[in-house]
């Protein structure tokens, strides 16, 4: 099943888009309009810092939202839109494990940050989050990642997400919707195996489109490659799911004026790979030397 969300800055689309991602735009416009300079963030790219879990909300049998407090009520995390951070914990054997996560909160959410986590039965970091209780601390380091979203950098921004890959896309979508001076058109297709697997579900009465990911859906809901269009892909799966992948191992997506984005080999994006290959937008992985 796939849930598609299409956003335009035209007024008739804006109301639906805001409802779809369940965000309170009015409360956050203030920050974009009045805050000319942000306070210094709390993250350190070189050292792990600990943040206290102040609220845990169970969203389903294996998904929970974890809210961590920042040092002061006016502190911000300081994570650029589109980047992630490394979280450190212990697996069921007591061994240290580090895994990247993207908050669903923005720097307009002062005093705290949120992580929406799907806890897999055999996941090493999943075990750590499953055992966390309010009052516990999480070690975090960042920001990490090459990609950073900039308002109005392109005319259209296409996003395709699978599973927990929705979290960075949700962050970008929120940033676009809540910034009154950002006129980027955002397009999102989000796919899951079952309805129960959908994270950050749309509200009741959602009419933005559902169904299997097909060539028709991609063409309808995503912008085609052009100098003013960016397409990003985010797939986060278990090793078991990856074993069924049909894409070549480690391919990079290149679009004009875009940072290369790694495509993980999963069945969901076999169709997208074929579409992009026909448009000469996808190439084998560059060497480490090419990336420097």
Instruction: Determine if residue 116 is labeled as part of a ligand binding site.
Output: yes
126 belongs to an annotated ligand binding site: yes
1 is in an annotated binding site: no
- Is 98 labelled as part of a ligand binding site? no
Q: CA-to-CA distance for 231 and 185, rounded, in angstroms?
A: 12
Q: Is 118 annotated as a binding residue?
A: yes
Which amino acids are annotated as binding site, given as ranges?
100-101, 116, 118, 125-126, 167
Which amino acids are annotated as binding site for FAD, given as ranges?
100-101, 116, 118, 125-126, 167
């Amino acid at each position: 099943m796939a849930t598609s969300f299409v956003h335009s800055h035209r007024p008739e689309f804006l109301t639906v888009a805001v409802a779809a991602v369940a965000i309170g735009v009015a409360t956050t416009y203030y920050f974009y309009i009045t805050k000319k300079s942000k306070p210094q963030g709390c993250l350190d790219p070189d050292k792990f810092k600990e943040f206290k879990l102040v609220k845990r909300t169970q969203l389903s049998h294996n998904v929970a939202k974890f809210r961590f407090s920042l040092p002061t009520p006016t502190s911000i995390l300081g994570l650029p839109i589109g980047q992630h951070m490394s979280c450190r914990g212990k697996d069921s054997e007591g061994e240290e494990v580090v895994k990247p996560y993207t908050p669903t909160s923005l720097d307009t959410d002062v005093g705290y940050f949120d992580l929406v986590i799907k806890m897999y039965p055999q996941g090493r970091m999943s075990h750590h989050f499953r055992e966390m209780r309010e009052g516990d601390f999480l070690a975090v380091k960042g920001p990490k990642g090459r990609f950073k979203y900039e308002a109005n950098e392109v005319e259209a921004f296409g996003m395709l997400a699978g599973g927990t890959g929705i979290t960075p896309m949700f962050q970008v979508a929120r940033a676009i919707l809540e910034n009154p001076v950002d006129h980027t058109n955002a397009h999102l297709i989000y796919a899951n195996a079952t309805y129960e697997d959908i994270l950050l579900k749309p509200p009741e009465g959602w009419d933005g489109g559902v169904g299997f990911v097909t060539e028709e859906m991609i063409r309808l809901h995503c912008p085609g490659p052009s100098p003013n269009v960016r397409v990003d892909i985010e797939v986060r799966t278990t090793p078991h799911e990856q074993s069924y992948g049909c894409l070549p191992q480690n391919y990079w997506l290149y679009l004009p004026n875009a940072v290369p984005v790694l495509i993980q080999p999963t069945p969901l994006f076999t169709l997208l790979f074929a579409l992009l290959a026909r448009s000469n937008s996808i190439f084998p992985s560059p060497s480490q030397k090419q990336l420097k």
